Amino acid sequence: MMIYLKYMTILMKGVIVVVTSFDKLVKFKLPNGKNVDFLDNIGIVLKKYIQYEGMNESGGVLIGYTHRIHGSVVIEELTEPQSNDKKSFLSFFRISNHHIEAVNKAKRRNSGYMGNWHTHPCDYPEPSNTDLTSWHDSLVKEKTSCNYIFFVIVGRKGYRVWVGDVKNKKISEITLYKNSL
Ligand SMILES: [Zn+2]
């Protein structure tokens, strides 16, 4: 049984949060109680890459910043797949320099790498074992301006967001900020 709320899908086995409104700013709550805003252009761009039948997987990096005073996070931009990235139906590898260049450009305005996104050819995405392995790998090798690395998977009905905690290496799905429904 599924009950549709504005942004949320609740499944019997537990609560998962699927953002089905691709054209709105979405406010999530981080495990540390701070909020993270996904600006409206994030969903708008992700929607372009929904992986329908016959399409290859897409992906890119997430760019944003942490507010110095109150510690909330803004995901403001993302990179899009390039022709020289390596893509197939079930995989995506960021080969193009474009992704690194976009992060370097963002650093000049005190933004930077916050995580990554990719698509799955299904309605409600779940991380594969390969995803979990690569996310754990990111937690060892990568850095953002906050204690978390963000991982987005885009399905056909919406996208879901997980965060990896850089300190304790735990990965968890984030929920919506209470006032954002
Ligand atoms: Zn995946």
Taking the domains of the chain in order of start, what are their residue ranges? 22-176
pLDDT for 15 equals 65
Query: What local confidence, expressed as pLDDT, does residue 38 receive?
Result: 97
Instruction: Measure the CA–CA gap between 59 and 82, rounded to whole angstroms.
Output: 9
Ligand 1 centre distance from Cα of residue 151 (Å): 10
Domain 22-176 has CATH 3.30.930.10: no
pLDDT at 1: 41
> For residue 90, how far is its CA from the centre of ligand 1 (angstroms)?
8
What is the reported pLDDT for 176? Answer: 87
The residues annotated with a catalytic role in the active site are 57
Mean model confidence pLDDT for the chain: 90
Residue 74 is classified by DSSP as E
How far is ligand 1, taken at its centre, from the CA of residue 74, in Å?
A: 23
From ligand 1's centre to the CA of 119, what distance in Å? 7
Q: d(Cα 12, Cα 14) in Å, to the nearest integer? A: 5
For residue 179, what pLDDT is reported? 54
Distance 109 CA to ligand 1 centre (A): 30
Strands (E), the chain: 2-4, 9-11, 14-16, 26-29, 35-38, 59-66, 73-78, 86-87, 92-93, 112-119, 148-154, 159-165, 171-173, 175-176
Placement of tokens 């309605």 in the chain: 123
Low pLDDT (below 70) residues in the chain: 1-15, 179-181
**pTM, rounded to two decimals:** 0.91
Instruction: Please tell me the distance between residue 155's alpha carbon and the centre of ligand 1 in angstroms.
Output: 10
Neighbour-count burial of 132, counting CB atoms closer than 10 A to its CB (0-12 exposed, 13-18 middle, 19+ buried): middle
